[in-house]
Amino acid sequence: MLKNIWKDPVWSKVISAAFLWLITLGYAYVKSITDSISIKQAVSQLSEPRVSVLQILLGITVILFLYFVIREIGKPIESNGKASIYNDKQTILMRLNKVEYPNEGVLFRWQVFFDFNGNPFIDELDAYCTKHGSTPLRFIDNSCSVRDCSNSQRQVDFNATKNQLESELIDKWEKLNN
């Protein structure tokens, strides 16, 4: 949501101005406490030329810091034109989200996510039966819901399957990064 805002130059100007106001008000608030004066006095003091060189340097440092932070946030948008938070290797890995076992008549679909350390993991793993026409039919309660289907006679072990698929995913991830 925030990333989309930065695409629009008008919005980014408004937000920059709001940031500056927040910094000014924050500084005035701290100054009003430390100098035991009202916020109004602190703000009017800020607009007087008595502001020290140190304060100006501090202000420039804060603005530069925010500029670089905002630029880093906006980077993925500039590089590929859409608000992707994933890099190229992550995108490749995220496409590995299904596998079919034709002999078993089973298809697995899942989503690839990345944890805070950047390691991939699998979630939303679902099994589908491919023995009923062109559209794979999702399992209900670990097996095919169609009577007399061979996949309704046995149950998928989701924990073991997830572990195996995730192990393969981690292996591919390591090879991508070496």
Among positions 97-156, residues that touch Zn ion (CB under 5 A) are: 129, 131, 144, 146, 149, 151
Q: Is 77 in the site for Zn ion (CB under 5 A)?
A: no
Which CA distances in Å does 144 have to 127, 136, 149?
9, 10, 7
The least CB distance from residue 126 to Zn ion, in Å, is 14
Give CA torsion, residues 24, 30, 34, 40, to 10 deg.
50
* CB nearer Zn ion, residue 96 or residue 146: 146
Which residues 145-164 are close enough to bind Zn ion by CB under 5 A? 146, 149, 151
CB closer to Zn ion, 139 vs 173: 139
What is the nearest approach in angstroms of Zn ion to the Cβ of residue 163? 24
Residue type, 115: D
Closer residue to Zn ion, CB minimum distance, 37 or 125: 125
Closest CB to Zn ion among 104 and 166?
104
CB of 152 to Zn ion, least distance (A): 6
For residue 144, give the DSSP letter. Answer: -
Radius of gyration of the chain (CA): 28
User: If you search the block for the tokens 């500039």, which residue do you land on?
Assistant: 78
The least distance separating Zn ion from the CB of residue 137, rounded to whole angstroms, comes to 6
Instruction: Provide the pairing of β-strand 120-129 with 137-138.
Output: antiparallel
Site string for Zn ion, 34-73 (x = CB under 5 A): ----------------------------------------
Asked whether 28 and 46 are in contact (CB, 8 A), the reply is yes
In this complex, which beta carbon is closest to Zn ion, that of residue 42 or of residue 151?
Answer: 151
Alpha-carbon span 7 to 111, nearest angstrom: 28
**Nearest in space to 46 (alpha carbons), one of 22, 27, 30, 65:** 27
> Would you tell me which residues interact with Zn ion (CB under 5 A)?
129, 131, 144, 146, 149, 151
